[in-house]
Amino acid sequence: MASPIEQFNIKTLIPLDFAGIDASFTNASAFMVGAVVLASGFMVVAMRERALVPGRMQSMAEMAYEFVASTVRDNVGEEGMKFFPLVFSLFMFVLLCNLLGMVPGSFTVTSQLVVTAALALLVIGIVIIYGLWQHGLGFLKLFVPDVPPVLLPLMIPIEIVSFLARPLTLSVRLFANMLAGHIALKIFAGFVASLLAAGAWGIIAPLPLLLTTALTALEVLVAVLQAYVFAVLTSVYLSDAVHGGHH
């Protein structure tokens, strides 16, 4: 049986080299381009008619829009809607990368830590820059919770560490979910092959096959859910930047 982590190998499709930096076009890049093309193509084609009574495609596009818009409105408030394009792009990109990864034999871009870390650093960078730009040093009040002053020497380091852990947990959550899910699928699919090769035991081979089917359904749920969680957490973090230290 092939190793379960073989599916995450990055293969170079078009070798590129900029002054010693390996910038090759890989299968990961291809799937990222695919996700972006699918997402923008879907929105453009679906909204082409701009009908007052939406058809099927337009309904789907409007539902996606409304879903993310209500997430941003609930977590940041009306003044956070200027970040809606960011959150919507992140949501659609992560969602399509996750779902493209569920196609058998394809490559899951979000199972690469470097991709999710780049997305998380983008979010945290925007939070810090916008927070400092909007509130100046008052943004640092974020680290001073509303507790009796005696507790402050303890609470401030905790708040700082929890703030610094945000990009870490944001990226590792998405990465680990996709990685573990695909490894589990591969391992259970491997059971089918090894049972079929084991003579009389082949009779129970359908059992892991059923489990793989059920796991695939769960993984599709997880793929959508993790995109949603990424969008929600992005809006929660942006809310800190918009409202400063006042919770």
Q: What does the binding site for other proteins look like in residue numbers (CB under 8 A)?
A: 3, 5, 169, 172-173, 176-177, 179-180, 183, 222, 225-226, 228-229, 232
Least separation in angstroms between residue 74's CB and other proteins is: 9
Instruction: For other proteins, give the closer residue by CB, 152 or 187.
Output: 187
Angle between helices 84-101 and 206-243 (to 10 degrees): 170
Least separation in angstroms between residue 43's CB and other proteins is: 23
Instruction: For other proteins, give the closer residue by CB, 12 or 169.
Output: 169
The span from the CA of 171 to the CA of 33, in Å, is 20
Least separation in angstroms between residue 229's CB and other proteins is: 4
Least separation in angstroms between residue 3's CB and other proteins is: 8
Instruction: For other proteins, give the closer residue by CB, 110 or 131.
Output: 110
The residue type of 191 is F
The span from the CA of 159 to the CA of 151, in Å, is 12
Determine the 3-state secondary structure of 15 from DSSP: coil
CA dist list (Å): 150 to 3, 118, 139, 158, 159: 54, 38, 22, 14, 15
Instruction: For other proteins, give the closer residue by CB, 30 or 183.
Output: 183
